[in-house]
Chain A
Amino acid sequence: MSDNTVTLEPISSLVEAPLEEQYVPGHRTCAGCGPALAYRLIAKAAGENTIFIGPTGCMYVANTSYLCVPWTVPWIHAQITNGAGIASGIEAAYQAMIRKGKYKGRFPNIIVMGGDGGTTDIGLQALSGAMYRNHDILVISYDNESYANTGIQVSPMTPYGGATSFTPPGAKIPEANKLWPKDITAMIYYGHPMVKYVAQASIGYPVDLMNKVRKALNKKGATFIHVHTACPKGWRFEASRTIEMAKLAIQTGMWINYEIDEGKKKVDHMPREMKPVDEYMKAQGRFNHLQAKHIQKIQNFVNSKVAEARPVAARTV
């Protein structure tokens, strides 16, 4: 693999983050959009020597219009199916062109910004292939827990009990979505022996998110970050409460930030005392229909996840 890369230094606080933006105004995402904020932070952390691959999803449809794009770095559209496939090709091209003297420049950061559908569902094969082959790329799954751009349809990341336009609650199916989400981060790490770094991050913790991006980009080989990105439209909460919702997910255990760095697992931001998931459910319209027994099921699921993660928690809040 190419040694012709730049090492990205850790960012100590938000005020120390680079002022330069690679994801700039001019897009038309919803007010309070979590994925757009994630994009801005990720692009900031990666810097100008970066190529983004954008599989179809919110961050394609809402970011690009009238042939305009909001990036100062190269960006290419991919189908919802093949973000990691196109990224594999770009990486292979740069490996070959630099080695053969056909490209004079540094090896770029190659980042796929895929939604949960484009990474954990229809794009999963391409993702697994790229991770297996250990291309020097970073795949980000910005997870708003549904196919949101098409009008909020269920994805493998939609929580149990989440209402979407394909999983409406009704007399026969009172809990709406009956399935439990995939554990994509574990799947990528434990299923792909060459992968050195995976992480979960949240827009509620921006410095941590940027540092995880830099850590991943500094690795030679395939890396994966799963970013929890609250979605006011899909989850049905006020646009001004995006960050509050992101933090509430951590505080209730509905989302857990962690990383696995060459075999070492570290859990971040885990509270000493968990808030009940009920608080999270009550704050979002997509859970309005749930009965106490459904919420209890979710609480049990979260309890077991937290119990599993707590022994390796590094930082608590």
Chain B
Amino acid sequence: MKGEKKFLAGLAAVAEAAKLADVDVISSFPIRPYTGLMVDLSQKVANGELDAEFIHADGEHAQLSICHGASAAGARTMTGSSGVGVTYAFETYSPISGGRCPVQMVIANRTLDPPGDFGSEHSDVLCARDQGWIMGWAETPQEAFDNTLIYYRLGEDPRVSLPQFNCQDGYFVSHIPGEVVIPEKSLVDEFLPPYKPAKPLDPQKPYGHGPQIYSDQGPILQLQRAILMDKAKEIIPEVLDSFNKIFGRKYPSYIEDYNPNDADVCLFINGAHSQTARYAIANLKKQGVNLALCKLRFVRPWTTDEIAEVLSHYKVVGVVETNNSFGISREAGVFTPEVAATLYNLPEKKRPILISFMAGLGGEAIRLDDFYFMAKKLTDIADRKKIKKPVYWIGFEEE
């Protein structure tokens, strides 16, 4: 890949991408750890490197409201948050996606209160997984940079026109620098056309946005919103192909099937901890243990068929849950029921055994030892073809 190499943390990488995307309106409010994004963006605006309105919002709810209005008027927008900031803005998410406003919200994950905890847990933004937004995680600062451009292109596509949660783990990605290749502006322009909404709020072309309906009009409108997610699913490969071609990358569209050692057990994972898992896989190989990794690139839309196809090649799948959903089925996190539903209709012979690992909660690191533990559980089950426990809480298990 051609371009200037820089050593940047995840949020700084997103700020560079926002500059190249020529964002028009930015709305900020401080909360750790995402704040660094706005520190960088405000400096770029102050320096005159980025010509944008930088709005100091009166809270996260206002951040999103400002982006809603700006996006409806035809501006490219960026905002962001972490933890309880993400949940404070909750009311605005459905109106923004229902209004087809492709706002981009950068999330650096943080555990929800209580107690006060700065660490990265995915529960904050996963609360909003049903709100009609595109959602996915970056594993590295480079991927955070790339996702920023990919999400704008996907979200602003007139066939989709949906907002995006551009997520990265707090600290693990947001604050740990890595190598980021910053491409030429001309390449970014080739990939990302200017944002042109079909029906902007413009006195020259008056439209009413968001009127009341009666309940008999509800089903068709909800069906249309569901179809938008299907559309997004459909055009993700097109967007990724274009990105890979222009920038010389090799991103798979939906899910990365990383299986260098021909393993028959795999971890199903998203976000920063995939990095540690890759080291664990290399180390385990030396000990004669084969483990694979299936990394989710998009949580919304959830690409059922593609995920089922990848997972059907494994005997045992362990879902790494870095989120909490108290009282949920199978008593793990939110991904386990989704993966279970994804696999349910596979023929029995192709359907892997499914277990869960509650790991990295509260933002604790998932260490190499923790991944070795997971590998042992998965290979044991593969050998015995029986599960002892459906859920393991990492750090609390005796064996």
Contacts and interface: CB of A to CB of B under 8 A. Distances in A.
Interface of A: 48-51, 53, 60-61, 64-69, 71-79, 81-82, 85-97, 99-100, 102-103, 105, 108, 125-126, 128-129, 132-133
B373 to A, nearest CB: 46
Chain B interface, DSSP helix/strand/loop, else mixed:
mixed
A133 B214 CA distance: 37
Given A82-B62, A102-B24, A87 B69 contact: yes
B74 A67 contact: no
Given A76-B99, A85-B62, 17 more contacts: A48-B203, A49-B203, A61-B212, A65-B211, A66-B214, A76-B209, A76-B210, A82-B65, A82-B92, A85-B58, A85-B68, A92-B25, A95-B53, A96-B51, A100-B51, A126-B58, A132-B58
B61 to A, nearest CB: 6
Interface of A is mostly: mixed
A90 B77 CA distance: 11
B211 A92 contact: no
B71 A89 contact: yes
Interface in B162-221: 194, 201-214, 217
Best-buried of A66, A68, A88, A132 by chain B (most CB within 10 Å): A88
A64 B55 contact: no
A68 B208 CA distance: 8
A302 B61 CA distance: 37
A53 B68 CA distance: 12
Contacts of A71: 206, 208
A51 B57 contact: no
B107 to A, nearest CB: 19
Contacts of B337: none
Contact of A103 (B71, B74, B77): B74
Nearest to A127: B58
A111 B24 CA distance: 21
B58 A125 contact: yes
Contacts of B209: 74-77
B183 to A, nearest CB: 22
B32 interface: no
A288 B298 CA distance: 61
Contact of B202 (A86, A105, A129): A105
Contact of B70 (A53, A93, A103): A93
Contacts of B69: 53, 76, 85-93
Contacts of B217: 66-67
The interface centre, meaning the residue of A89, A92, A100 with most chain B CB atoms within 10 A of its CB, is A89
Given A86-B65, A92-B25, A97-B75, A69 B211 contact: yes
Interface string B34-53: 00000000000000000111
Contacts of B74: 93, 97, 102-103
12 contacts: A61-B212, A66-B212, A79-B95, A81-B65, A86-B65, A86-B72, A89-B75, A92-B53, A92-B75, A93-B74, A102-B74, A126-B62
B56 interface: yes
Contacts of B204: 105
